Amino acid sequence: MACEHPGSYVVLITSNTLGKGDNNFGSGLMRSFLNSLWDNDSIPSSIFFLNSGVKLTCKGSNVLDTLNWLEKAGVTISSCKTSLTDYVLTSQLVVGSPKEMYEIVESMLSASKVITI
């Protein structure tokens, strides 16, 4: 079970898959990454989703359960408003909240560490 107190690092997710190559495999890797993050003793304070990464926070995503668990544990889940608009997903957002880029940048700059996926 994950730590109930988020750390001071943030995770930036820029794609709905992890790595390059087969998208189905990359989707499974992303799910595995987020589940492993949840199982870790030190969960992030925030996770930011940009570009196609916003698809992970929207209806139909295979990681919604994990993102909900992380959010309930105190992790701030945020999706880039511009990305949601570009992918026509604003009304499909299920987990977290939309954020402007300047808000995402401010949070990243105040974090002790940013991990980009």
Q: pLDDT by residue (tens digit) across 26-37?
A: 999 999 999 999
Helix, strand, coil share (%) of the chain residues, nearest 5: 45, 20, 35
C-alpha 92/C-alpha 8 separation (Å) is: 29
Give 9-116's CATH code, choosing from 3.30.470.20, 3.40.1260.10, 2.40.50.1040, 3.40.190.10. 3.40.1260.10
* pTM greater than 0.75 (yes/no): yes
Q: What is the pLDDT of residues 79-106, one digit of tens each?
A: 999 999 999 999 999 999 999 999 999 9
Burial letters 70-92, b for 16+ CB under 10 A, else e: bbeeebbbbbbbebbeebebeee
Token pair in block for residue 26: 């990359």
Q: How many CB atoms lie within 10 A of CB 47?
A: 28
Please state, in angstroms and as integers, the Cα–Cα distance from residue 110 to each residue in 6, 43, 45, 81, following that order.
Answer: 15, 17, 11, 20
Token pair listed for 87 = 């992918």
Spans of all domains in the chain: 9-116
